[in-house]
């Protein structure tokens, strides 16, 4: 596999980053994941716009290659012959040459930029979409700026491990009694045909897939309500689902051991998944 590091396309075994890189030492870094279907990038403009915002919110300089990111994504897809899968992009504040809590001088320190591809054959017709996910709820103890897509993913990672241990697939994070989002996706319930999902704020990531799916839902005359909901409300809902660049629209069929409806993916989630994939191809 060829990866991109700071302007160079290299075999993955030769790609290196300094031990003083602030992404490594401080999680001082932001990232994006863009999916690829049939060799084509999905929603690249949205991911690029969110990256720009994440950088700005952290007073991080845009890397010199920022305007070339689309070309770099395409080049990696071509070099790796990627049909279906993901492109991971990370930008760190760089490697100032020593460990320090204080940000380095932005004029003296180049941001580190890394991109790599992950092949996921058959991404669009995943077996999991046919059976749906089981989720458990866990307390959301992440920091307060979840709208910035930082690489601080230890707690989301622990959430997935807690889910696995409990025999489930993923965790929904709960704060002040309401669901914020999934460990790596946005969360939705469906009540009497109405799609309910938490409103945007600093407490959740502004999903690029969320924006697209809500637009498609409204275009298809489905009702959308952006408000918080509890686990109890979700357990009594007709259906539930999550969205992300890597899972598209993924049905949820069980929450904390309670089966939703007949335990099969619901019609709204299935339809939105179909529309999202159709529109992306």
Q: Is 207 in the site for ligand PDD (CB under 6 A)?
A: yes
**Cβ 138 to ligand PDD shortest distance, Å:** 13
Contact with ligand PDD (CB under 6 A): which of 186, 198, 240, 253?
A: 186
Nearest one of 114, 117, 179, 116 to 146, comparing CA atoms:
179
Q: Closest by alpha carbon to 30, among 3, 6, 52, 4?
A: 52
When asked if residue 209 is in the footprint of ligand PDD (CB under 6 A), the reply is yes
Q: Binding of ligand PDD at residue 184 (CB under 6 A)?
A: yes
Distance CA 233, CA 264 (A): 18
Q: How many residues does the chain have?
A: 281
- Closest contact distance (angstroms) between CB of 69 and ligand PDD is 16
Q: Torsion over CA of 256, 140, 149 and 1, rounded to 10 degrees? A: -50
Phi, psi of 254 (to 5 degrees): -150, 135
The C-alpha atoms of residue 130 and residue 109 are separated, in whole angstroms, by 48
Q: What is the residue whose two structure tokens read 């930029």?
A: 113
Nearer to ligand PDD, 63 or 207 (CB): 207
Exactly one of 205, 231, 269, 272 binds ligand PDD (CB under 6 A); which one? 205
Residue 210 binds ligand PDD, judged by CB under 6 A: yes
- The residue among 95 and 180 lying less far from ligand PDD, judged by its C-beta, is 180
Report yes or no: 217 and 162 within 8 Å, Cβ to Cβ.
no
Contact criterion met (CB below 8 Å) for 35 and 47: no
With respect to ligand PDD, which residue has the nearer C-beta, 95 or 244? 244
Specify whether 164 is catalytic.
no
Q: Which is nearer to ligand PDD, 54 or 184 (CB)?
A: 184
- Minimum Å gap between C-beta 105 and ligand PDD is 30
> What is the nearest approach in angstroms of ligand PDD to the Cβ of residue 244?
4
Alpha-carbon distances, residue 214 vs 9, 44, 76, 99, 239 (angstroms): 37, 17, 30, 43, 16
Considering only 90, 92, 95, 244, the residue that binds ligand PDD (CB under 6 A) is: 244
DSSP secondary structure letter of residue 150: B
Question: What is the separation of C-alpha 278 from the centre of its chain, rounded to a whole number of angstroms?
Answer: 20
Stretch that binds ligand PDD, among 69-77, 105-113, 205-213, 251-259 (CB under 6 A): 205-213
CA triple 264-267-35, angle to 5 deg:
90
Q: Which of 33, 72, 162, 191 binds ligand PDD (CB under 6 A)?
A: 33
By CB under 6 A, is residue 158 in contact with ligand PDD?
A: no
Exactly one of 149, 160, 164, 165 is catalytic; name it: 149
Where do contacts with ligand PDD occur on this chain (CB under 6 A)?
33, 181, 184-186, 205, 207-210, 243-246
Catalytic residues: 149
């Amino acid at each position: 596999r060829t990866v991109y590091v700071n302007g160079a396309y290299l075999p993955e075994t030769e790609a290196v980053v300094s031990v003083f890189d602030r992404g490594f030492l401080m999680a001082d870094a932001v990232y994006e994941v863009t999916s690829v279907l049939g060799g084509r990038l999905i929603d690249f403009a949205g991911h690029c716009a969110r990256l720009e915002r994440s950088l700005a919110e952290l007073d991080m300089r845009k890397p010199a290659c920022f305007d070339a990111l689309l070309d770099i994504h395409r080049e990696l897809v071509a070099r790796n012959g990627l049909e279906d899968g993901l492109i991971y992009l990370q930008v760190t504040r760089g490697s100032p040459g020593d460990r320090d809590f204080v940000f380095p001088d932005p004029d003296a320190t180049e941001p580190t930029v890394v991109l790599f591809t992950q092949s996921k054959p058959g991404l669009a017709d995943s077996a999991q979409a046919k059976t749906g996910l089981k989720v458990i709820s866990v307390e959301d103890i992440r920091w307060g700026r979840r709208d910035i897509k930082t690489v601080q993913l230890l707690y989301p990672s622990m959430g997935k491990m807690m889910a696995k241990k409990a025999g489930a697939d993923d965790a929904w994070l709960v704060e002040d009694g309401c669901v914020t989002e999934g460990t790596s996706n946005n969360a939705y319930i469906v009540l009497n045909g109405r799609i309910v999902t938490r409103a945007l704020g600093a407490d959740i990531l502004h999903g690029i897939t969320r924006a697209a799916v809500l637009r498609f839902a409204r275009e298809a005359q489905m009702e959308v309500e952006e408000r918080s909901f509890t686990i109890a409300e979700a357990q009594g809902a007709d259906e539930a689902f999550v969205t992300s660049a890597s899972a598209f629209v993924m049905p949820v069929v069980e929450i904390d051991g309670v089966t939703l409806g007949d335990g099969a993916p619901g019609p709204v989630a299935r339809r939105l998944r179909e529309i999202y994939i159709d529109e992306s191809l």
